[in-house]
Structure 1
Amino acid sequence: MGLIWDGVKDITGNVLHLRTKFVTNQRLDGQVVVITGANSGIGRETAIQLTLLGAKVIMGCRNRERADRAAEYLMANNMHAVVIVIQLDLSSLESVREFADKVSQNESHIDILISNAGIAGIPERQTVDGIEMQFRTNYLGIHSRQLWPTYIDINHNFYAITRVVSVSSFVYKVGKIHFDNINLRDGAYTHWKAYNQSKLANVLFSRELAKRLGANSTISTYSLHPGVIKTDIVRNYRPYVKGLYNMIGRLLFLTPRMGAQTSLYCALEDGIENESGFYYQVCKKVEVSPIAMDDTAAERLWDLSVDLVNLDAHLNLPSSY
């Protein structure tokens, strides 16, 4: 019931135009922002707004053709935009590592990392390394810590990351981390179960990362629900579902531009540095459900993630417990 009520409130806010638009006077000249999934939807709109503020935006996208079109769109909306496209398939650990190598070869620092890419509604599928596709793409790919070894390895603070932003969803509330069957094999898979698990993982990761970095860290981490938005995330659903979604979406759902506002808030808002690890909705911090405050589960998920990506021991952040 809680999730349904949240959905009703979310859509009511959309229809009545009660959503908050983030406004800032700060400039991001000289700053570098990495955004995954920036070739469409709220990722592309987030990228547009950040280039308008002067940031260099690195778009990490699986489909190079779509990413190039999105980059052209960004530059058409801002003739001064500095946009770089680097192919990134979050379902492949090899691709993640190649992306990290290319970024580190060309950039002396990264200021903001926005984990925006996501998939939903796919049939049961596993990656080449045997991991359930939604868990790998929506969570493990960008949060593998193989991608950003130098921001994890505090002693070699090469990347000057200040904020790590994870786009989750309010469906985390009905999610569960299936530690005994993380890949949902042997008939356990449904696309919703997999999606909800990945979105809960985003929230738990953000909370755990904040704890491991510690109160004195210059890095802040946030997770968020962007709102009920009309995007192409339903592209993998059956045609009749997509048709219904598009029909309802035109009337009730947020545009991608408005859906990007909480991502921008978490990435840029002054004064929330001490709120690291928290969860945001409609450009404000909100209390999470008990399932997302389970410190034992968050630590266990962290350790499992380290094992799944074969993270070198010296790159791992120690537990704060």
Structure 2
Amino acid sequence: MFLNIWTCSIICLLVAATIIGGVILLLLLLRVYIYLSTGVCKSKVSMKGKTVLITGCTSGIGRETARNLVKRGARLIMACRNVEAANKLKDELIKESDNQEIVVHKLDLSSLESVRDFVKQVNNEEKRLDVLIHNAGTAETFSKKISIDGIEMTMATNHYGPFLLTHLLIDLLKRSAPSRIVVVASSLYRLANLNLDNINPTMTFPAYLYYVSKYANIMFTLELARRLEGTGVTANCLHPGMIDSGIWRNVPAPLSWGLQVIVKSFFKTPEQGAQTSIQLAVSEHLKNTTGKYFSDCQESSLSSGVSDAAKCKKFWELSENIVKLQSTDPKI
């Protein structure tokens, strides 16, 4: 009897050990796959003499993108809502790179007034703008928020703010041509759709609107590229991958507990996630490429819905009304 119990215990332990070992091996293989499949920007081009403006660069992939560009010698304009954090990062980047050409300006993309104030300062102080990187983004899970302009907060920050910012900076970009606009989107757009009859979805579930805003980012980029043909200004968007970054900080407990295990186990590091942004900003091979979507430093395909030219055009026209473009504003 005792022998049978002992034998069963040994068998159970062996089975458990096999299962645990199999899970650990699977996790290791997945990590290796993520590492091997992650795109890497191999361009060594110098950015000395060029000016780059990046939004939302105090953390995540924006921080790593900024770090890389500063080390390449670029003059960097850090457009950030948290000026204190931005100035702290500025000091770190100067110390790391010995590049003093870094300036910090306050920009709250959820406020149309803040966007206009920011651009007025940039246009007064800067002689050129070679690269504009729309990196900033926000995501809410359950909390419905409305911007000071009456726009749903996720859409205001992720689409309408960048839309107005691009319009107001376009003349500077054109004078600096060849120049580039890089938009950080996401393949998560495939989980959503954009309702042209409700482009200010204040009553929609906030977590879903992050995906909608990424859908909007891509439509904006495609129409932007079409409108900028022949100007010397290119526009491309990208999927950075699933990143271990601050974008997930708004997920409440207990959902955040399981999510953190997944994030730490399978998501890319911010440095890995920044590679495609860097590639689109610096690569000489892509200087004439426009209206494309990239992932892991390679051109990728889009769904037929998000790339519908008529829908992109209509959304653009509706967005002009939302951001209250004025007759004196630059037109694209």
TM-score range, shorter chain: 0.7 to 0.9
Q: Distance in 2 between matches of 1:276 and 1:197?
A: 23
Query: Out of 263, 281, 288, which is 2:295 matched to?
Result: 281
Q: Give % identity.
A: 35
Q: Distance in 2 between matches of 1:309 and 1:162?
A: 24
- TM-score, length-scaled by structure 2: 0.85
Write out per-residue CA displacement over residues 130-184 of structure 1, whole angstroms, 9 at most, x where no aligned residue: 11111110111112144314258xxxx4454610000000011222222212222
> Is 1:139–2:153 an aligned residue pair?
no
Q: Which residue of 2 aligns with 1:6?
A: none
Tell me by how many angstroms 1:12 deviates.
6.5
Tell me by how many angstroms 1:102 deviates.
1.2
> Is 1:87–2:106 an aligned residue pair?
yes
Residues 22, 265 of structure 1: 8 Å contact kept = yes
Residues 211, 277 of structure 1: 8 Å contact kept = yes
Query: Out of 174, 185, 194, which is 1:168 matched to?
Result: 185
Write out per-residue CA displacement over residues 162-218 of structure 1, whole angstroms, 9 at most, x where no aligned residue: 100000000112222222122224x4x11232111110111111110111112x231
Q: Which residue of 2 aligns with 1:31?
A: 50
Q: Are residues 241 and 220 of structure 1, via their aligned partners in 2, closer, same or farther at CA, if it must alter by over 3 Å? A: same
Could you tell which deviates more after superposition, 292-301 or 304-313? 304-313
Q: Which residue of 1 aligns with 2:118?
A: 99
Query: Out of 214, 224, 231, which is 2:238 matched to?
Result: 224
Query: Out of 177, 181, 188, which is 2:198 matched to?
Result: 181
Q: Are residues 85 and 15 of structure 1, via their aligned partners in 2, closer, same or farther at CA, if it must alter by over 3 Å? A: same
Tell me by how many angstroms 1:304 deviates.
0.9
Write out per-residue CA displacement over residues 57-107 of structure 1, whole angstroms, 9 at most, x where no aligned residue: 111111112212222232232222522110000000010011101111211
SS of equivalent to 1:239:
coil
**Aligned residues, how many?**
300
- TM-score, length-scaled by structure 1: 0.88
Q: Which residue of 2 aligns with 1:8?
A: none
> Is 1:20–2:20 an aligned residue pair?
no
Q: Which one-letter code corresponds to 2:150 in the other structure? A: G
Query: Out of 139, 146, 150, which is 2:171 matched to?
Result: 150
Residues 36, 116 of structure 1: 8 Å contact kept = yes
Could you tell which deviates more after superposition, 216-225 or 238-247? 238-247
Write out per-residue CA displacement over residues 23-61 of structure 1, whole angstroms, 9 at most, x where no aligned residue: 222111111100000111100100000011000111111
Query: Out of 285, 297, 308, which is 1:271 matched to?
Result: 285
> Is 1:210–2:225 an aligned residue pair?
yes
Q: Which one-letter code corresponds to 2:312 in the other structure? A: A
Residues 14, 254 of structure 1: 8 Å contact kept = no
SS of equivalent to 1:86:
strand
Tell me by how many angstroms 1:16 deviates.
4.3
Q: Distance in 2 between matches of 1:20 and 1:124?
A: 35
SS of equivalent to 2:312:
helix
Q: Distance in 2 between matches of 1:56 and 1:82?
A: 5
Residues 123, 169 of structure 2: 8 Å contact kept = no
Q: Distance in 2 between matches of 1:47 and 1:72?
A: 13
Query: Out of 40, 43, 46, which is 2:65 matched to?
Result: 46
Q: Distance in 1 between matches of 2:114 and 2:122?
A: 12
Q: Are residues 80 and 250 of structure 1, via their aligned partners in 2, closer, same or farther at CA, if it must alter by over 3 Å? A: same
Residues 31, 55 of structure 1: 8 Å contact kept = yes
Q: Distance in 2 between matches of 1:19 and 1:111?
A: 27
Tell me by how many angstroms 1:17 deviates.
3.1
Q: Distance in 1 between matches of 2:177 and 2:284?
A: 17
Q: Distance in 2 between matches of 1:203 and 1:148?
A: 19
Q: Which residue of 1 aligns with 2:265?
A: 251
Query: Out of 207, 213, 228, which is 1:198 matched to?
Result: 213
Q: Which one-letter code corresponds to 1:147 in the other structure? A: L
Greater gyration radius: 2
> Is 1:241–2:251 an aligned residue pair?
no
Cα root mean square deviation, aligned: 1.9
Could you tell which deviates more after superposition, 243-252 or 271-280? 243-252
Residues 30, 54 of structure 1: 8 Å contact kept = yes
Q: Which one-letter code corresponds to 1:221 in the other structure? A: A
Could you tell which deviates more after superposition, 40-49 or 81-90? 81-90
Residues 14, 252 of structure 1: 8 Å contact kept = no
